[in-house]
Structure 1
Amino acid sequence: MELLEILGFIGALFIGLVLGLIGGGGSILTVPILVYALTLNPVIATAYSLFVVGTTSLVGAIKNITKGMVDFKTAIIFAIPAFIAVYITRAFLIPAIPDELFQIGNIMVTKNLAIMLFFAFIMLLASVSMIRNKRKETDEEAEITYNYPLIIAEGIIVGAITGIVGAGGGFLIIPALVLLAKLPMKKAVATSLFIIAIKSLIGFLGDVQNLDIDWPFLLIFTGLSIIGIFIGIWLNKFIDGKKLKKAFGWFVLIMGIYIIYKELTA
């Protein structure tokens, strides 16, 4: 096994570790690890990422369900348009995109390049969200209200983005649940994991019909990520997650800039 492959599997453990420590964000590393360390095609990488993110999030979601932290009504309202959007994106939109899109000067913008650049842009947005981290806490006793049209619209947008880049989109979902459904922060984070699990795994079903899946590799990678989330949950008792989240946000920002540089200079 080459050094990059070893680093790739260590990266799988790190993905879960970050998810366990700060409750989100780790999934945004899955695609870069699969593409750059394990040299997978971006289309395959985003597909595998959906399975890894969905399965790992499901582990966290089940834990939250046992604690009564998941608001199922809000999750269903948000998740139905989200998983329809992510399934359509993976099953029909991604396969329909031509391999070569257009040329700018000497640069041919291919399908793979466009996916990676869009992914880098999402990483930059996520990093800003983690660095700023100025969400206001909603009163735990406040009545939960629903802005149905906006929740459905946000679900469709997040689902489509998830389908393209293969990341969970927690940095988009959590503010939506707090602002549009008036969920308390802790419930928003817990409900977000449940939504991410559902839409990611259903989105992955859209890939199963189009791609040959390397199940042994995918299950090993996902298993390492799940081990990581349990280690992260345990370490969370000793480490301040908010400070860690800000530091991780800077790391994601640097990674996003690196991806843009690497893709445009390749």
Structure 2
Amino acid sequence: MISQYLISVLAGWGAGAVTGIIGASAAAVIVPVLITFLDIPTFEAIGISLATDVVASLVAANTYRRNGNIDLKSGLQMAISAIVGAIIGSWISSYVPSARLGGFTGVAILLIGINFIRKPLHQRIQTIQEKHKNDPNISNVKRITSSILWGLLIGFIAGFVGAGGGVMILLILTLVLRYKIHVAVGTSVLIMAFTALSGAVSHALYAPIPWNLLAFAVVGGALGSKMAAIFANSVSEEKLSKIAGVAFILLGAMTIIDGIIS
């Protein structure tokens, strides 16, 4: 019993660290750990990861808020549509067999890891912005429409596989809504908190969530997210991206293998 709580805390801490450093979702850490070591059904593991995402994201967002790096006004339509998408994704995932759902999650995490290793996120954004810097300004209608559609897609993925969508939200804020990178990171983490909350509540309605494990995971997530800010300031973004990439690949592969064995 004690080992279950310890694993939950460590999983939450790792998830919070990932969220605080690069704005990625808790699902990348919590879901494969809970499935592999505690044999938690995938749907319930996703619910725990989403709830942990809420706390870890709010802790990280508070740091960005103190530095004036959050602008939710322009991204409000994306936040609302992402919440709707998360509710739909959670509802659909409740009908998917646990092993198959775990496979979907594992593949998603694996692909995230490969992308982080191939090219750090901040370099990818800079390259695309440089390529399109001479493009004519996008109309407000097109920006709003794009943010709503992307918000629905990101929210759906969040509800379906438990990924809060922070990295994808970050890309849309920088490339479509033209946010500055620091403001985009802060705003994306805050939006992810709302998205994860709607997904977590939806999961709780469709299946019982082990609240004792959830409580320990949330505590770990808060601690990890807070500590991540200190670590992030001591290493380069490129190094952080590669470290996260390796971790995601290992966790994604672990989830896929466990799903095949099951």
- TM bin, normalised by shorter chain, reads 0.7 to 0.9
Provide the rounded CA distance (Å) in 2 between the counterparts of 1:145 and 1:27: 35
Provide the rounded CA distance (Å) in 2 between the counterparts of 1:220 and 1:11: 9
1:128 aligns with 2:114: yes
Partner of 2:148: 152
- Code of the residue aligned with 1:54 in structure 2: it is V
Partner of 2:134: none
More helix by share: 2
- Kindly state the Cα deviation for residue 215 of structure 1 after the two structures are TM-superposed: 2.6
Partner of 2:133: none
- Code of the residue aligned with 2:207 in structure 1: it is L
Match for residue 184 of structure 1 among 164, 180, 183? 180
Partner of 1:108: none
Partner of 2:57: 57
The 1:46/1:253 distance shift into structure 2, 3 A limit, reads same
Structure 2: 5+ residue stretches without partners: 131-136
The 1:80/1:159 distance shift into structure 2, 3 A limit, reads same
- Kindly state the Cα deviation for residue 145 of structure 1 after the two structures are TM-superposed: 7.0
Partner of 2:255: 259
Residues 35 and 42, structure 1, Cα contact 8 Å, conserved in 2: yes
- Kindly state the Cα deviation for residue 5 of structure 1 after the two structures are TM-superposed: 5.5
- Kindly state the Cα deviation for residue 46 of structure 1 after the two structures are TM-superposed: 0.7
Identity of aligned residues (%): 25
1:72 aligns with 2:68: no
- Kindly state the Cα deviation for residue 17 of structure 1 after the two structures are TM-superposed: 2.4
Task: Please list the CA deviations of residues 115-148 of structure 1 after superposition, one character each: whole Å capped at 9, or x if unmatched.
Answer: 1111122112211332212323469xxx997512
1:230 aligns with 2:229: no
- What TM-score do the two structures reach when normalised by structure 2? 0.85
The 1:229/1:87 distance shift into structure 2, 3 A limit, reads same
Provide the rounded CA distance (Å) in 1 between the counterparts of 2:70 and 2:37: 35
Which deviates more from structure 2 when the two are superposed, residues 213-222 or residues 72-81? 213-222
Task: Please list the CA deviations of residues 158-212 of structure 1 after superposition, one character each: whole Å capped at 9, or x if unmatched.
Answer: 1111011112122221111111111111111111101100011022121232233
Which deviates more from structure 2 when the two are superposed, residues 11-20 or residues 27-36? 11-20
Partner of 1:206: 202
Structure 1: 5+ residue stretches without partners: 99-110
Residues 20 and 229, structure 2, Cα contact 8 Å, conserved in 1: yes
Partner of 2:99: 113
- Kindly state the Cα deviation for residue 40 of structure 1 after the two structures are TM-superposed: 1.0
Residues 126 and 171, structure 1, Cα contact 8 Å, conserved in 2: no
Partner of 2:159: 163
SS at match of 2:125: coil
The 1:212/1:62 distance shift into structure 2, 3 A limit, reads same
Provide the rounded CA distance (Å) in 2 between the counterparts of 1:127 and 1:136: 17
Residues 5 and 38, structure 1, Cα contact 8 Å, conserved in 2: no
Residues 13 and 224, structure 2, Cα contact 8 Å, conserved in 1: yes
- Code of the residue aligned with 1:125 in structure 2: it is L
Cα RMSD of the aligned pairs, angstroms, is 2.4
Which deviates more from structure 2 when the two are superposed, residues 47-56 or residues 202-211? 202-211
- Code of the residue aligned with 1:135 in structure 2: it is R
- What TM-score do the two structures reach when normalised by structure 1? 0.84
1:94 aligns with 2:93: yes
- Kindly state the Cα deviation for residue 4 of structure 1 after the two structures are TM-superposed: 6.5
- Code of the residue aligned with 1:43 in structure 2: it is F
Provide the rounded CA distance (Å) in 1 between the counterparts of 2:125 and 2:105: 27
